[in-house]
Amino acid sequence: MDKVSVTGLGMTEFGKHEDISLKTLLLDACFEALKEAGFPKVDAVYVGNFMSGQLGNQEILGAIVANDLGLGSIPTVKVEGACASGGIAFRQGFLAIQSGEYENVLVAGVEKMKHRSTEETTLAINAAMDNDSNEKHAGLTFPGFFGTLANRYFYETGASKEHLAMVALKNREYAMNNPKAQFKKTTSIEEIMSARMITDPLGLFDCSPTTDGAAAVVLSKGKSGVMIRASAQASGTTQMQEAEDLISIPSIRESAKLAYKIAGFGPEDIDVVELHDCFTMTEMIAIEELGFFDKGTGWEAIEQGLTKHGGKIPVNTSGGLLSKGHPIGATGLAQIYQIVSQLRGISCNQVDDAKIGLAQNLGGTGAYSTVHIFERVNA
């Protein structure tokens, strides 16, 4: 297998970009990544995006990047896999280099959500459920889904809403040092606990926001700087009624297992992780499914501060989806931006001597999960 490395990174600020179009956000992140990589000859473009069609009546993002950045008549693709669109696009770029056809691939992700109403955005996001299922017709939403998981998790373990608040606070404190994050205002357990309820038990701070933003990376054949040690993807059920239980997300577990096997690493070898905290509850389950803590014990690890600097594994040092923001198609790439920055030693909330990092991106109610493991190959 060819070695593949990340040779360029780009990312817009995450937040509300009222006067900047989706296209401009996308091109800005791509240009920054290409510039950082020294403007290599790009052989293909992959763009991760979930709902530019629904919210912006704009598709053909792949062709737009090639055309507007003057990359020539190279092949381009838009990739969709709900909130995992970015992670899946990254994996497609990786596979395309493995195929032997390409040397350098630009992978970008973008979403623009803040220009539409909450109702419109909520409806669009529900396209990540199965239309033919009962639960969608019964009114299930994503906060509803993860709220149900939280209540069940509370029932089966000793966890409570306060443990969720600890996740929210940790990620907010990390975001305060990330100049590109959407939320940088200080908060407290008290404020988080008493915030407006969204879906019991998830309050405002337990839910990732809607966000405008883009992120991009350049992938290159060869071994330099930060190398991809493993790329893995797994599917899960598309309906809650088919779940094995309500405190597991099997696609995370399967994709992690596969990635560890490919890399020859275990969770104990990972120095820093970005994982898909679309809700505080999702982070609690993900630290278990990724193998950092036993099933049903994540809440204790959080209480003991094991997911922060100085603990077992610093989680979401970017601020995560919760506080960095969650422009859906961009999220998977923004996670990789953070992990690669950590391994380069130039990140916000830098983890000392981070050598191996992991990025995990989730789509739907567990329908998709990607796990990528990265290693610093020279310092």
Catalytic residues: 83, 326
Peptide bond connecting 201 to the previous residue in cis, omega within 30 degrees of 0: yes
Residue from 16, 36, 69, 95 touching a copy of itself (CB under 8 A): that is 95
**What letter would DSSP give residue 348?**
T
Of the candidates 35, 46, 98, 38, the one whose C-alpha atom is nearest the C-alpha of residue 330 is 46
Min separation Cβ 243 and a copy of itself, Å = 11
Stretches 29-37, 90-98, 153-161, 204-212: which one binds a copy of itself (CB under 8 A)?
A: 90-98
In this structure, are strands 4-11 and 44-48 parallel, antiparallel, or unpaired?
unpaired
At residue 67, the 3 state secondary structure works out as helix
Residue 297 in 3-state DSSP? Answer: coil
d(CA 313, CA 272): 6
Q: How far apart are the first and last CA of the chain?
A: 24
Q: Which of 87, 29, 24, 22 is nearest to 54 (CA)?
A: 22
At 61, which amino acid appears?
Answer: L
According to DSSP, the residues that pair with 241 across neighbouring strands are none
Q: Which one of residues 59, 200, 245, 353 is an interface residue with a copy of itself (CB under 8 A)? A: 59
Among 63, 69, 176, 195, binds a copy of itself (CB under 8 A): 63
Which string of x and - marks every residue 8-27 that binds a copy of itself (by CB under 8 A)? -------------xxxx---
Using CB under 8 A as the binding rule, the residues of this chain from 327 to 366 that contact a copy of itself are 363-364
Q: How far apart are CA 103 and CA 156, in angstroms?
A: 49
**Residue 78 interacts with a copy of itself (CB under 8 A): yes or no:** yes
Q: Which residues contact 21 (CB under 8 A, 6 or more apart)?
A: 112
Q: Decide: is 108 part of the binding site for a copy of itself (CB under 8 A).
A: no
C-alpha neighbours within 13 Å on the C-beta side of residue 107: 34
Q: Does 243 bind a copy of itself (CB under 8 A)?
A: no
Angle (CA) 162 321 154, round 5°: 30
Q: How far is the CB of 100 from a copy of itself (least distance, A)?
A: 6
**Residue 229 binding a copy of itself, by CB under 8 A:** no
Q: Which of residues 253-282 bind a copy of itself (CB under 8 A)?
A: 254
> Which residue from 145, 148, 146, 155 is spatially nearest to 296, judged by alpha carbons?
155
Closest CB to a copy of itself among 52 and 342?
A: 52
- Considering the complex, what minimum distance in angstroms separates the CB of residue 72 from a copy of itself? 8
Residue 127, interface with a copy of itself (CB under 8 A)? yes
Measured from the CB of residue 263, what is the shortest distance to a copy of itself in angstroms? 15
Distances (CA, A) of 123 to 46, 83, 267, 273, 340: 26, 14, 37, 31, 34
Binding a copy of itself by CB under 8 A: which of 31, 36, 40, 77?
Answer: 77
Give the residue among 82, 52, 49 at the shortest CA–CA distance from 330. Answer: 49
Our finding on whether 291 is near a copy of itself (CB under 8 A) is: no
Q: What's the token pair of residue 81? A: 């896999």
Q: Is 62 in the site for a copy of itself (CB under 8 A)?
A: yes
- Going by C-beta distance under 8 Å and a sequence separation of 6 or more, which residues neighbour residue 123? none
Judged by CB under 8 A, the stretch of 62-70, 198-206, 272-280, 350-358 that binds a copy of itself is 62-70
Under the binding rule (CB under 8 A), the answer on residue 98 touching a copy of itself is yes
Smallest separation, CB 65 to a copy of itself (Å): 9
Check residue 206 for interaction with a copy of itself (CB under 8 A). Answer: no
Residue 222, interface with a copy of itself (CB under 8 A)? no
Beta carbon of residue 309, minimum distance to a copy of itself (angstroms, whole number): 33
Contact set with a copy of itself (CB under 8 A)? 1, 21-24, 50-54, 56-60, 62-64, 66-68, 71-82, 88, 91-92, 95-96, 98-101, 123-124, 126-132, 233-239, 242, 250-251, 254, 363-364, 367-368
